[in-house]
Amino acid sequence: MAEASPALLSALREVSEEIDRQFDALLPVPDDARANLYKAMRHAAIGGGKRLRPLLVSATARLFGVDRVCIARTGTAIEAIHVYSLIHDDLPAMDDDDMRRGKPTVHRVFDEATAILAGDCLHALAFEILAEDETHGDPFVRVELIGALAHASGPSGMAGGQMMDLEAEKSSFDLATVTRLQAMKTGALIACAVEMGAILGRVPVEGRTGLRGYARDVGLAFQIADDLLDAEGDEALAGKKLRKDGDAGKETFLSLLGVDRAREQAHLLVDQAIEHLHQYGPEADVLRDIARYTLERDQ
Amino acid sequence: MAEASPALLSALREVSEEIDRQFDALLPVPDDARANLYKAMRHAAIGGGKRLRPLLVSATARLFGVDRVCIARTGTAIEAIHVYSLIHDDLPAMDDDDMRRGKPTVHRVFDEATAILAGDCLHALAFEILAEDETHGDPFVRVELIGALAHASGPSGMAGGQMMDLEAEKSSFDLATVTRLQAMKTGALIACAVEMGAILGRVPVEGRTGLRGYARDVGLAFQIADDLLDAEGDEALAGKKLRKDGDAGKETFLSLLGVDRAREQAHLLVDQAIEHLHQYGPEADVLRDIARYTLERDQ
């Protein structure tokens, strides 16, 4: 993260601490046969990760002066969905990964059954948080948040993209299909984070065009950067196994475009993302910094 | 089902057809790399099962004259949660089952990765259905439905109970612990079905005492009947493998109470469940029939 701006660094730190605090409070280990289930959720959810999605919720919602408690709860909900998806994607039957965020994966520390259930529980927890009464007074807001998150994480979004990704090892996808796959697999939840910030800010749908354009471009740039990281990154810094796409013979932005054009494309997308924020002043600088940061990250 | 009353039989048939119709409309198979994902969801969700939870939603909500569309959507949402949990519970890492509802399990027809993702997608779908605008106009109602369902299916409910059940093979639980395990694993979602019916009917919390007592007793009777079915039932009629608890050396109501006392206890619970409905007239007869039916079923 050497290249992150001081403002972004401070925002990243603040969001990370807040999300850790929230999960710590939500997941006290019970003194019964579910102890390992909670330990597994804590292992995956606390202390690690970039917290990009909660950061996007926060940076967007703050444009509209949203209350911090609402921001924190919403960020925790979307991060719970992200973490559940990582636990399930790492399973032997899926991507079969041993390391995640610099730690052994949940099914390695515990077992597969516990990992499946820990993922399922974080999935349910996300919606329970959003449905709770205290934090988002207005039920119209809560229902819109829930609808957006359920849609972005289901078969038309994240989980559908993961299914396509599993098929990608067997098929030979073209650039349009890889773009669609990635827009679903990672793009949908990243876009949802920005959307949730706008929903919290009570921005009407017709006022979200700029933010949606920003989110779409950042999501795609993030994925191209992920492909570059997979090909060129340092496993110790990344905290997970790299060089996987090439080994699996999967078509990616990189295999289809080559390193130079992929990098160029990512820079173009970041410029375009920032351009989408033209209606906002310096209060949107953290969003601009996040866009630039997608290309600089090493994890 | 030889013992089900004509009124119950007609209600069961109506609900089953409605749920099949809903899933059929919600899950059109797309012409892309997600085709198997949707086929897997359809395999698990359409054509089979007792539809007990949607039936409980419906029988409860009709006490209060709730609109049929709301009932159907809510029933589909809770059934989506139930079906996702069956898909995940059947996985090799969990209960490792080959048959379910008379058909091969999802991971046998497709593969484990597809089964995990199909479960995850039905999980998300449940909340997307409830968050949708058209069907449950009042967002207070929608948010309360979502909160109840998320709580009942998460670590304090169904998924927590499944974790305890996996531990039960390693530990020796006493009657109090087995009762708690079952109250979570199957009781929570059955209770949630009745609760959702009451929420749709806008029954205030203080007016739900009788219905909650009914749901608690029916859930427990259902589980004891399930244990009896596991020990004494016909695999062909049940459509799944039986005699599993004994083989796994797991403590159940049956192993702790013996067949005669377990059966006696189940009958007592059914009587008690019906007693909880004393404030309702003949309009609650389907609920009463459901309580009796829990003991007569062969699947």
Complex-level ipTM = 0.96
B113-133 tens-digit pLDDT: 999 999 999 999 999 999 986
Nearest-CB residue to B146 (from A127, A160, A171): A127
Q: Is residue B1 part of a domain?
A: no
A121 part of contact set with chain B, CB < 8 Å: yes
Residue A2's pLDDT is: 43
The residue ranking higher by pLDDT, B285 or A242, is: B285
Q: Which residue has the tokens 């109970």?
A: B161
Q: Is residue B298 part of a domain?
A: no
Token output for B212? 């909650």
Q: Which residue has the tokens 């996987």?
A: A244
A230: confidence class by pLDDT, cuts 50, 70, 90: confident
Q: Is residue A203 part of a domain?
A: yes
B46 part of contact set with chain A, CB < 8 Å: no
User: Closest Cα partner for A149 from A94, A194, A182?
Assistant: A194
Residue B134's pLDDT is: 58
What separation in angstroms does the CA of B266 have from each of A107, B219, B271, B296?
Answer: 38, 10, 9, 11
Residue B237's pLDDT is: 79
Residue A136's pLDDT is: 62
Size of interface A-B (CB pairs under 8 A): 166
Residue A1's pLDDT is: 37
Strand-pair category, B99-100 with B103-104 = antiparallel
Report CB contact under 8 Å: A159, B33: no
Q: Which residues contact A256 (CB under 8 A, 6 or more apart)?
A: A174, A175, A178
Number of domains in chain A: 1
User: Closest Cα partner for A46 from A75, A74, A83, A81?
Assistant: A83
Token output for A169? 């090892």
**pLDDT average, residue stretch A32-38:** 97
**Residues A114 and B155 sit within 8 Å (Cβ to Cβ):** no
Report CB contact under 8 Å: A32, B163: no
> How many residues does this entry show for chain B?
299
Neighbours of B37 (CB within 10 A): 28
**Which residues in chain B have Cβ-Cβ distances shorter than 8 Å to A177?**
32-33
The residue ranking higher by pLDDT, B232 or A62, is: A62
A113 part of contact set with chain B, CB < 8 Å: yes
Report CB contact under 8 Å: B124, A154: yes
A260-294 tens-digit pLDDT: 999 999 999 999 999 999 999 999 999 999 999 99
Q: Is residue B96 part of a domain?
A: yes
Residue A160's pLDDT is: 98
Residue B242's pLDDT is: 80
What separation in angstroms does the CA of A293 have from each of A53, A189, A267?
Answer: 13, 18, 11
The residue of B163, B172, B180 whose CB has the most chain A CBs within 10 angstroms, and thus the best one to mutate to test that interface, is B163
**Which residues in chain A have Cβ-Cβ distances shorter than 8 Å to B85?**
120
Residue B1's pLDDT is: 37
Report CB contact under 8 Å: A150, B127: yes
Which CATH number goes with the domain that contains B130? 1.10.600.10
Residue B236's pLDDT is: 78
Q: Is residue A210 part of a domain?
A: yes
Q: Is residue A1 part of a domain?
A: no
Q: Is residue B268 part of a domain?
A: yes
A170: confidence class by pLDDT, cuts 50, 70, 90: confident
Phi, psi torsion values for B203, nearest 5 degrees: -80, 125
Residue B152's pLDDT is: 98
Residue B144's pLDDT is: 95
Angle between helices A52-61 and A188-200 (to 10 degrees): 30
| CA trace torsion B182, B185, B190, B193 (10° rounding) | 150
Q: Is residue B299 part of a domain?
A: no
Residue A226, min C-alpha distance to chain B (Å): 22
3-class DSSP state for residue B203? Answer: coil
Q: Which residue has the tokens 């009917």?
A: B201
User: Closest Cα partner for A236 from A59, A147, A112, A103?
Assistant: A103
Q: Which alpha helices (DSSP H) does A62-187 contain, by range? A: 68-89, 106-109, 112-131, 139-153, 158-168, 175-182
Provide DSSP, B72-111.
HHHHHHHHHHHHHHHHHHTSTTTT--SEETTEE-HHHHS-
The residue of chain B with its CA nearest to that of A116 is B88
Range(s) of the domain holding residue B246: 6-293
The residue of chain B with its CA nearest to that of A94 is B113
3-class DSSP state for residue A34? Answer: coil
Residue B100's pLDDT is: 92
The residue of A143, A144, A167 whose CB has the most chain B CBs within 10 angstroms, and thus the best one to mutate to test that interface, is A143
User: Closest Cα partner for B110 from B48, B37, B32?
Assistant: B37
For residue B166, what is the enclosing H or E element? Answer: helix B158-168
Residue A3's pLDDT is: 67
**Residues A291 and A218 sit within 8 Å (Cβ to Cβ):** yes
One-letter amino acid identity for B175?
L
Q: Report B:256-295 residues touching A (Cβ under 8 A).
A: none
Report CB contact under 8 Å: B120, A88: yes
Name residues of chain B where pLDDT drops below 50.
1-2
